[in-house]
Amino acid sequence: MTRRVDPDLTLIRLLGDGRMHSGEAIAKHLGVSRAAVWKALRRATERYGLALCAVRGQGYRLPVPLELLDPGQVLSALSEEGRSSVSRLEIHDEIDSTNAHLMSEAGAGAPSGAVCLAERQSAGRGRRGRVWVSPFGVNLYLSVLWRYPLAPSAMGGLSLAAGAAIVSALSECGVPDLALKWPNDILWQRRKLAGVLLEVAGEAHGPSYVVVGVGINLRMDPNTADAIDQPWTNLSEALGDQPYSRNRLAAGVIEALTSALDRYGRDGLLPFLPHWERFDAFRGERVRVVLGDRATEGLHAGIADDGALLLRTADGVVRVQAGEVSLRATEAAQS
């Protein structure tokens, strides 16, 4: 387990409870003079992109409490089987990308079951090269490395299995109205709540390894989300006033994902298809599939056993492989 601690983060952790802290108490906690407190506060909150409330005569606080990730809390929330599936757990204050980090570690021999989480990503990525907006401490960014004796070509349905696992974890938290959008988006009321990004490498005939990255919007300020080019939502909106623990949610996602990765190696995609079909957001609707500068419209006719999208067109049923297209409801379907 790895976690780098610095004075700025120490201050953010102190303020993370959302309560008012006097300048005198902050100075004592940091071991600095009272005069140095404001400079330290401004540096820390600007560095992590956080707002700061200051009340004369009372002190300072964050407008919204932060539950920062803690390795002990995450591990203690896992079942015994879940803990045995995690070979190592890293939590970073900031990283370029949890996926990029684990892909690099995998190339250096990191074991199956390595898990990486981050409070913030400076270069978070979604499918098709999109930016994944990754502000500090308010969402969930995690990746899991898994090794298989299989060839990379056998990983075609894994993104669907991962998506089904994430829906299961969110359902366990009490999130209603969840849906899956092929190949690996998780929606709430037709707005994106979470996404999955898979990266695979290995020998042509095996073995191979995959890094599965998961991003879940938990409580994101709309002012930080200008780069998101599609309708999106937060877990806080989906749950309403129902409280949740960020650390327990991380554990639930890790548990569901490692279990799915293990089962996929034994049984492939087939056991996950009934769960996927239950939550399929577009089944039976007319959709538009975009590949490069070409678009094809047809009826979403389900998912093949290998994870391909089945699109019923005027020319018959077309198979569309995951990772090559984006999928949107047609205007007729959205009206």
**Which positions are annotated as active-site residues?**
127, 192, 328
Burial class (CB in 10 A: 0-12, 13-18, 19+), 32: middle
- The number of C-alpha atoms within 13 Å of 22 and in the hemisphere containing its C-beta is 5
Question: Which residue shows structure tokens 């009272």?
Answer: 34
Which residue in the block uniquely carries the two structure tokens 């407008």?
A: 63
- Spatial CB neighbours of 143, under 8 Å, sequence gap ≥ 6: 98, 99, 101, 102, 115, 116, 211, 212, 213, 214
Query: Which one-letter DSSP state was computed for residue 173?
Result: T
Q: Do the bridges between strand 191-202 and strand 53-55 make them parallel or antiparallel, or are there none, so unpaired? A: unpaired
Helix or strand run (H / E) with residue 12: helix 7-15
Measured CA to CA, the distance from residue 50 to residue 63 in angstroms comes to 9
Structure tokens given for 283? 């089944």
Q: Which of 276, 315, 12 is nearest to 138 (CA)?
A: 12
